[in-house]
Amino acid sequence: MSPLLLLILLPLIASLLIMVGANPRRTALGAAILNLILSVVLFARYNQHAGGWQFVSDFKILPKLGINLTLGADGLTLAMVLLSTLVTLSALWIAPRIEKREGLYYVCLLFISAGVIGAFASLDILFLYSFHELALIPTFLLIGIWGSGDRQAAAWKATIYLGLGSFVLLIGLIALYLSMPAEIRTLDLRQLDQLAASGIFRPSAWIYLVLLVGFGSLVSLFPFHSWAPPAYACAPAPAAMLHAGVLKKFGLYGLIRIALPLFPEAMHEFNGLLLLLLIGNILYIGYVTVAQKRLDWTVGYSSVMHMGYIFLGLASLNIIGINGAMILMFAHGLSVAAAFALCGEIRRRTGTLDYSELGGLAKATPVLGLLFGFAAMASVGLPGFANFAGEVLVFFGATAYGPAMVIPVIIGVWGVVISAIYMLRAYRNIFWGPITTRWEAITDITPSARWSVILLLFPLMIVGFYPQMLIKMVETALPR
């Protein structure tokens, strides 16, 4: 059996077993562990010198209609699959005891995992889109049923925004397909790359704008971002980990796979527009993040802000910047998942994430405070974490673009300062200062939850100290 197909099927098989009565937590964790092991094996077995698509397999779905599921992976795909399996295992591991509909809870998490892995591994645009939609549906259920705060409003807002974004994206993909001459129409990413490289097919620039709006809405590109912070703040921690850490990377992945090879002229033509939008992510959302008074909203807005740096790497339109963007996709996925996991642990112990009610928790929960410090420093981009390596490459790539990037780079560097302000402020307000009597008896993070967060922080530091390991993998996705 194709190893990539097995990565998709394992969460679905586990979901089926849960539906027929298997223990939800044990079954889900078992599938997640197997998936992580398999993804590590594939990551290690990928031939970097040969590059290109490997582990390719075709499955006939509706052959008369020409609909086939084609799976394959290059270095970027495997990095995203590894990210997906890491965050999935951590999210399932740290999930609290569920009092109502426990089976459905774990099935939703497993369906998100299967959907994102399928989207990353699909070589057919139709299935790339379809797998993403499969992963969106359980996200809404998780927020609406098991969320906190104004969860119904957050779930509906995310549903409307992401539904409209997906519809715009579908229009763009259909327009892309219909714009091809009838004799060369294809949805296969490999063939599209060949058509673009040969110069046979040059789609219209307006299709790029439609795809940018569609993919950008899914990534929370300014000004299509307002669904994300309330959705993440109200979602249960495992759902926020999977969506912010993994599922949101789908839009960036799609732009790299489709827009970069097919629309090089359009990306140059409309680069000024993209720069204005990403500046909104970095500067406007950055200041909004500073103004937040709750940790969950701070982390939610922070996730939106940091998308600006990844878009800055894409806007550089050179190998250095795009490599940086791809590394940031991996690094941000791990760091934001760790932050949301720790948000959930703090909420579980105190019942609140309001800065005005917290303080001094490091005295009662020193390990939790230490882990949050690591997650905060990774988010800020401290040297030694993968986030730093990605941001440095993004800034170098943007600088190499030319004078048009001077202001965006300056704003990007100032954004790092803004990140340090709101993360250090959150760290101080929650863990330092005098501790109130009501928090003196709370317990520290459990060994199980501790290891689930370490599972995310450890790869961040490995790549942070040796970024070349990941750079050599992700750059195989770029034309040679």
Proportion of the chain above pLDDT 70, given as a percent: 98
Q: How far is the C-alpha of 33 from the C-alpha of 74, rounded, in Å? A: 22
Average pLDDT, the chain: 92
Q: How confident is the model at residue 386 (pLDDT cuts 50, 70, 90)?
A: very high
Q: How many CB atoms lie within 10 A of CB 383?
A: 11
Asked whether the predicted pLDDT for residue 159 surpasses 70, the reply is: yes
Q: Is the peptide bond preceding residue 223 cis, with omega within 30 degrees of 0?
A: yes
Dmax (CA) of the chain: 74
Helices 205-219, 151-178: axis angle to 10 degrees equals: 160
Ramachandran angles phi, psi of 70, nearest 5°: -115, 125
Could you say which DSSP state residue 157 is in?
Answer: H
Quick: pLDDT tens for 390-449: 999 999 999 998 888 999 999 999 999 999 999 999 999 999 988 888 888 899 999 999
Quick: pLDDT tens for 322-372: 999 999 999 999 999 999 999 999 999 998 999 989 989 999 999 999 999
Q: Averaged over 381-388, what is the pLDDT?
A: 93
Q: What is the pLDDT of residue 66?
A: 60
Q: How many CB atoms lie within 10 A of CB 350?
A: 17
The answer to whether 222 and 278 are in contact (CB under 8 A) is: yes
Quick: pLDDT tens for 233-277: 999 999 999 999 999 999 999 999 999 989 989 999 999 999 999
Q: How confident is the model at residue 290 (pLDDT cuts 50, 70, 90)?
A: very high
Please list the residues that pair with 354 across neighbouring strands: 294
The answer to whether 372 and 430 are in contact (CB under 8 A) is: yes
Q: What is the pLDDT of residue 181?
A: 82
Asked whether the predicted pLDDT for residue 147 surpasses 90, the reply is: no
Q: How far is the C-alpha of 365 from the C-alpha of 362, rounded, in Å? A: 5
Nearest of 132, 134, 159 to residue 230 by alpha carbon: 159
Q: How far is the C-alpha of 3 from the C-alpha of 20, rounded, in Å? A: 25
Q: What is the pLDDT of residue 477?
A: 84
Q: Which residues contact 350 (CB under 8 A, 6 or more apart)?
A: 357, 358, 361, 439, 442
The answer to whether 31 and 455 are in contact (CB under 8 A) is: no
User: Kind and range of the H or E element at 55?
Assistant: strand 54-62
Count of residues making up the chain: 480
Q: Where are the domains of the chain?
A: 270-480
- Per-residue tokens: 38: 């398999």
**SS3 (DSSP) at 62:** strand
The answer to whether 463 and 389 are in contact (CB under 8 A) is: yes
Block residue for tokens 């001077």 = 406
Q: How confident is the model at residue 104 (pLDDT cuts 50, 70, 90)?
A: very high
Positive or negative torsion for Cα 388, 394, 395, 397: positive
Asked whether the predicted pLDDT for residue 43 surpasses 80, the reply is: yes
Nearest of 151, 137, 160 to residue 226 by alpha carbon: 160
CA distances from 44 to 38, 48, 321, 433 (A): 10, 10, 25, 45
Q: What is the pLDDT of residue 193?
A: 84
Could you say which DSSP state residue 69 is in?
Answer: E
Cα-trace Rg, the chain: 21
- Per-residue tokens: 419: 């990140």
Torsion from C-alpha of 76, 82, 84, 89, nearest 10 degrees: -170
Identity at 444, one-letter amino acid code: D
pTM beyond 0.75? yes
Would you report the helix, strand and coil content of the chain in percent, each value rounded to 5?
A: 75, 5, 20
Q: What is the pLDDT of residue 179?
A: 87
Q: Averaged over 153-172, what is the pLDDT?
A: 92
The answer to whether 369 and 362 are in contact (CB under 8 A) is: yes
Q: What is the pLDDT of residue 83?
A: 97
Q: How far is the C-alpha of 353 from the C-alpha of 371, rounded, in Å? A: 17
Asked whether the predicted pLDDT for residue 1 surpasses 80, the reply is: no
- Per-residue tokens: 291: 């103004």
